[in-house]
Amino acid sequence: MDSRVAAVGVALLVVLSGCTAVTDGGPLWDRWEGDPDNHWRSETINVSYGGGEPDRAYAQFVRAAADYWTANSDRYAGYPLRLRVVDADGTADVHVRFVDRVGDCGTHDVDTTAGCAPILTEPGQVDRPVEVRVRTGFTNDSTVAVLKHELGHTLGLSHADEPRAVMQPESRLVTTPDTNATGRENPWQTDRLDVYTDYGDVPPGEREATDRQVRQALTYFDRGAGGTIPETVAFRRIDSREDADVVVTVTNESDCRTGTGSCGTVTGTDPDGDGALERYSRLEIVVVGLDTEAVGWHVGRWLGVGFGLEADSAFPPPLRENATYEDRRSEWWTDA
C-alpha cells in the first residue's frame, strides 16, 4: 500500500442572500425633502441586534458593518445615510437576528445560506423594523462580511451592484474552530455512502472475483469494521461516478504511483481554515497492478482512511500495516 494520501480541502462556500421586498404602495404623499433616492426617508437609521452565541460580543461586528455603510452609502447606494447601532430593546429601523440556521430565503439552498435580508428600493417597502438574519458560527471577519452584504441589501443594493467584494452572491467564509474529520466518529455528513466501482482494466474473467473483494471490504465496514466506525454506516452501489461518495478503481497503471500497490485521496471542506479537513465529501481509491486476492485488503485500508483513521493502531487488526503478504490475500474480513 502506498502511504501517501492527498487531502484536498475547500473553504466553506456559502450563499449570501437578498429577497425582493413587496411594496404596499405607501402613502399618497411624501414630505421628505432629502435625497429622493433615500427610501428610508431619514438621514439616520437605527440598527439593533439580538440572538446568537452568548459568549460572543456581536456589537462590535454590527458596528463595523454599520460604520462601513455610513462611510460608503453615498458612493454605492447613491445617497448619504448614517447607520447607528442601538440596544436590542431600542427603537430600530433594522433588526439583525443572529441564528443557527437562516432558513428560507427565496430560492436559495437553506443549508448554505449565511444571511438573508430584503432588497429595499422604495419607501413603501420599508416595514420597520426590517429583519436581517445572519448565521452564527463564523469568525469575526466573516461575520462582518455577511453583515455588510445583508445591510447593503437594505440600502437597495443587489448582487449585481458594486462593491463586488461585498455584494457578490457567494463568498468563501471561515467558521470558528471546529473538530477535524480525524476526530469525528463519522467524518461524513451522512451515514449512507454511495459507491461507484471502475473495473475497466480487469480481465472479464476476473471481474466477478474482483467485485467480491470490494463487496467484502464494504460489508466489513458496514458491520462496523471491528468497532472502529459506527454501525449506522451503510454503503449503496450506484452507476454514477460523478454522484458517488466513494470511487474504487482497479487498474493496471495509474499516475498516482509507480509500481503495484494502492493510493487514495480524500476530499472535503475546511470551513475553519486551519488547514485540516473538518468533513469529507469524497474518497477515491485506486488499486494498481495487484493480484485479485489483494484488492479487498487495499480497499479496506483506504476505507479506514476515509473514516478518519490515522495511527496504524486505530485500524482494525486485519487492516494494519503489519499484515503479511498472505494475510492481505486471505479472507481477512472474517476476523473479529
Residue range 136-159: average pLDDT? 95
Give the separation between CA 320 and CA 309, rounded to whole angstroms: 11
Give the separation between CA 65 and CA 152, rounded to whole angstroms: 9
Record the pTM: 0.67
The per-residue pLDDT of the chain, averaged, comes to 89
Q: Write out pLDDT tens, residues 245-299.
A: 999 999 999 998 888 999 999 999 888 888 899 999 999 999 999 999 999 999 9
What are the phi and psi torsion angles at 148 (to 5°)?
-60, -45
Position 8 scores a pLDDT of 32
Position 197 scores a pLDDT of 98
Residue range 76-93: average pLDDT? 90
Position 6 scores a pLDDT of 34
Q: What type of residue sits at position 240?
A: S
Do 44-167 and 181-329 fold alike per CATH?
yes
Give the separation between CA 200 and CA 249, rounded to whole angstroms: 8
- In the block, which residue shows the cell 455512502? 193
Position 110 scores a pLDDT of 61
Residue range 67-95: average pLDDT? 93
The CATH class, in words, for 44-167 is alpha beta
pLDDT above 60 (res 14): no
CA 161 to chain centre: 26
Q: Where does residue 123 rank: exposed (0-12), middle (13-18), buried (19+ CB within 10 A)?
A: middle
DSSP letter assigned to residue 210:
H
Position 2 scores a pLDDT of 40
Topology at the third CATH level for domain 181-329: Collagenase (Catalytic Domain) (3.40.390)
pLDDT above 80 (res 61): yes
Q: What pLDDT band is residue 16 in, cutting at 50, 70 and 90? A: low
**E-strand stretches of the chain:** 5-10, 12-20, 44-51, 82-85, 94-99, 113-119, 130-135, 170-173, 192-198, 234-237, 246-251, 261-269, 279-288
How is the chain split into domains, by residue range?
A: 44-167, 181-329
pLDDT above 90 (res 195): yes
Q: What pLDDT band is residue 24 in, cutting at 50, 70 and 90? A: very low
